[in-house]
A = this chain, B = another copy of it.
Amino acid sequence: MLKDFAKAYQPDKETVKASLRSERDRLFANQMKIKDAKLPVMVIFEGWGAAGKGSVISSVIQNIDPRFFRVATTNADPTEEEKRKPFLYRYFIQIPEAGKFQFFDTCWMEEVVNGVIDKTLDHETYEKRIKSINMAERQLHDNGYLVMKFFFNISKKEQKSRLDALLADKNTKWRVSKTDLWENRHYDECLEVYDRYLEDTHRANAPWYIIDAKNRKWAELQVLQFLNQGIDTALKNHSLAVPILQNTFPLEPIADLKDIPLDKTISDEDYKKELEALQAELHDLHYKLYRKKIPVIIAYEGWDAAGKGGNIKRITGALDPRGYVVEPIASPTAPEKARHFLWRFWTRLPKTGHITIFDRTWYGRVMVERLEGFCSENDWQRAYNEMNEFEKELADWGAVVIKFWVQIDNQTQLERFTDRQNTPEKQWKITDEDWRNREKWDLYENAVNEMLKKTNTSYAPWHILESVDKKYARIKALKIVIAAIKEALKKAGEK
Instruction: Indicate the member of A5, A205, A233 with the most B CB atoms within 10 Å.
Output: A233
A245 close to B207 (CB less than 8 A):
yes
A382 closest partner in B (C-beta): B233
Bound state CA distance, A252 and B242, in angstroms?
37
A226 close to B208 (CB less than 8 A):
no
Q: Which of B203, B229, B249 meets A204, CB within 8 Å?
A: B203
Check if A8 is an interface residue, CB within 8 A of chain B: yes
Binary contact readout A192-204 vs B (1 if CB under 8 angstroms, 0 otherwise)? 0000000000011
| Shortest beta-carbon distance from A254 to chain B in Å | 8
Known: A4-B249, A204-B138, A205-B204. A233 touches B226 (CB 8 A): no
| Shortest beta-carbon distance from A167 to chain B in Å | 33
Known: A204-B203, A253-B9. A209 touches B240 (CB 8 A): no
| Shortest beta-carbon distance from A149 to chain B in Å | 10
A8 closest partner in B (C-beta): B251
Check if A183 is an interface residue, CB within 8 A of chain B: no
| Shortest beta-carbon distance from A34 to chain B in Å | 15
Check if A246 is an interface residue, CB within 8 A of chain B: yes
B246 close to A242 (CB less than 8 A):
no
Q: Which of B142, B203, B236 meets A239, CB within 8 Å?
A: B236
Q: Interface size (A, Cβ < 8 Å)?
A: 41
Check if A248 is an interface residue, CB within 8 A of chain B: yes
Contact residues, A233-247 vs B (CB, 8 A): 233, 236-237, 239-246
- Majority SS of interface residues in chain A? loop
Check if A250 is an interface residue, CB within 8 A of chain B: yes
A232 closest partner in B (C-beta): B241
Known: A138-B204, A236-B239, A236-B378. A5 touches B245 (CB 8 A): no
Which residues of the other chain, B, contact A334 by a CB distance below 8 angstroms? none
Q: Which of B138, B205, B229, B253 meets A244, CB within 8 Å?
A: B229
Bound state CA distance, A141 and B243, in angstroms?
12
| Shortest beta-carbon distance from A215 to chain B in Å | 16
| Shortest beta-carbon distance from A63 to chain B in Å | 21
| Shortest beta-carbon distance from A437 to chain B in Å | 27
Bound state CA distance, A242 and B246, in angstroms?
23
B248 close to A241 (CB less than 8 A):
no
Binary contact readout A160-195 vs B (1 if CB under 8 angstroms, 0 otherwise)? 000000000000000000000000000000000000
Check if A330 is an interface residue, CB within 8 A of chain B: no
B6 close to A251 (CB less than 8 A):
yes
Which residues of the other chain, B, contact A138 by a CB distance below 8 angstroms? 204
Check if A328 is an interface residue, CB within 8 A of chain B: no
B207 close to A204 (CB less than 8 A):
no
B246 close to A207 (CB less than 8 A):
yes
Bound state CA distance, A210 and B381, in angstroms?
18
Check if A54 is an interface residue, CB within 8 A of chain B: no
Which residues of the other chain, B, contact A249 by a CB distance below 8 angstroms? 4, 6
Check if A317 is an interface residue, CB within 8 A of chain B: no
| Shortest beta-carbon distance from A371 to chain B in Å | 20
Bound state CA distance, A253 and B205, in angstroms?
30
B208 close to A246 (CB less than 8 A):
yes
Q: Which of B210, B378, B458 meets A248, CB within 8 Å?
A: B210
A249 closest partner in B (C-beta): B4
Q: Which of B6, B230, B241 meets A236, CB within 8 Å?
A: B241
A240 close to B239 (CB less than 8 A):
no
Q: What are the nearest 8 A-B pairs in CB distance?
A: A6-B250, A236-B241, A209-B246, A1-B248, A233-B241, A207-B245, A5-B248, A6-B251
24 contacts between A and B (CB under 8 A): A8-B251, A9-B453, A138-B204, A142-B204, A203-B203, A204-B204, A204-B205, A204-B242, A204-B245, A205-B205, A207-B245, A208-B246, A209-B246, A226-B246, A230-B243, A232-B241, A233-B241, A233-B242, A233-B243, A233-B244, A233-B378, A237-B237, A237-B241, A240-B240
Starting from the known contacts A9-B251, A205-B205, A226-B246, 20 additional A-B residue pairs (CB-CB under 8 Å) come to: A1-B248, A4-B248, A5-B248, A6-B250, A6-B251, A6-B252, A8-B251, A9-B453, A141-B204, A203-B203, A204-B204, A209-B246, A210-B246, A230-B243, A230-B244, A232-B241, A233-B243, A233-B244, A233-B378, A237-B240
